[in-house]
Amino acid sequence: MITIFEKQGGIYQAEGKYFIPCVMTKEQKNLHIGVWANRHRHYLKQHHRVRYYNLLTSEKLYEYLSDIEEQAEKLFQEFVKSLVEKENVTEKLKADKPMLWVQKMNNIRSRAAEIVNSEIIYS
């Protein structure tokens, strides 16, 4: 009896008394998956399981996550840059009042991270 797997060109490998399908995955590129992509992956896994497993089984998950990482990092950098200019956080402030500069930069980065999380990561 020929199985559907064999009709589609699949082969089995004997392991003791059992025959196990030989399944190979496509060669994948070495992609950068950072903190933003890992947050999104965790979100998908917890709240959108079907989408997560569809991406995983179609071997498109890491490509998708790499794209999410790029988008999120770009948006984060743009927001930080625009908020720094808007609030006039300069190198002069950094030299004159370093603690105030750190306080403002932490605040700006925190706000930018919240925006990225709401716009890209958790949507």
Contact residues for 75 (Cβ-Cβ < 8 A; gap 6+):
115, 116, 119, 120
Q: Which of the four pLDDT bands, split at 50, 70 and 90, describes residue 60?
A: very high
Condensed to tens digits (0 to 9), the pLDDT of residues 102-122 reads 999 999 999 999 999 999 999
Over residues 93-108, mean pLDDT: 96
Predicted model pTM: 0.75
Q: Do 32 and 69 touch, CB atoms closer than 8 A?
A: yes
Condensed to tens digits (0 to 9), the pLDDT of residues 8-51 reads 778 888 888 887 887 776 676 778 899 999 999 999 999 999 99
Residue type, 120: I
